[in-house]
Amino acid sequence: MSKQRRPLIAGNWKMNGLVGSATPELQELVKRAGDHPDPKCDILICPPATLLYEMVSLAEGSAVKIGGQNCHANESGAHTGDISAEMLKDAGAEYCIVGHSERRADHGESNAVVKAKAEAALRAGLIAIVCVGETLVEREGDKTLDVISDQVRNSLPGGATASNTVIAYEPVWAIGTGKTPTPENVADVHAHIRKELGSMMGDSDSVRVLYGGSVKGSNAAELMAVENVDGALVGGASLKAVDFWPIVSTCI
């Protein structure tokens, strides 16, 4: 991790959690974070929208920030079942994940859709976490860097800066599988992302680039030590504080 970029450890709870089960987990995370009054990283939890307001209330005044998992590109309108970035902001969110591979695959979200959502997040005053990553077929076809270039160039919002945009590299084939790329593989992709950002943004050296994909306590330290890795986007291991905290501890 670079000393010039403050690490971000983000937990994506996906479609998991009810108030009764989620509350004690967030309370435990807040308690652990409170034992470190000057943390050297940012800590973020992105719960389902149904938990957002409750989690914001529980985390208030702590080092733990709360974000959304997705947003609609429009501020309001006839979009049944969708949530705007402004609604997330109104509920107390500070970040919003856009373009996660599960959204790209399950909902057919193109780079253009992801970009529009990222721009909506910025419009609402949220920090956009823009996800990119290749499938196993693309990796085995030696297309990883081409895919990453296409997604970075065409998914980033207009007006993206280091203060309002984060990139998260999640190799699709590693998400929830227990498989992870080698540190060398991660270093190559993150260096490539940094190079792409350099041609797009004046403050590219300050943009945080996270790694995601089966991050857990047992491999977090090795992954966080990779050059150009500025934190993690964590899935299953973020659901319980006892599993998430060892990942946070790698840079606390």
Annotation marks residue 190 as catalytic: no
- The most distant pair of C-alpha atoms in the chain lies apart, rounded to whole Å, by 48
Q: How many angstroms separate the CA atoms of 4 and 102, rounded? A: 31
Annotation marks residue 170 as catalytic: yes
Q: What are phi and psi of 29, to 5 degrees?
A: -65, -45
Asked whether 244 and 42 are in contact (CB, 8 A), the reply is no
DSSP per-residue codes, 41-101: SEEEEE--GGGHHHHHHHHTTSSEEEEES--BSSSSSS-TT--BHHHHHHHT--EEEE--H
C-alpha dihedral sign at 181, 152, 190, 47: negative
The catalytic residue among 100, 102, 138, 196 is: 100
The catalytic residue among 86, 119, 170, 196 is: 170
SS3 11: strand
Tally of CB atoms within 10 A around 222 = 14
- Residues that are catalytic: 100, 170
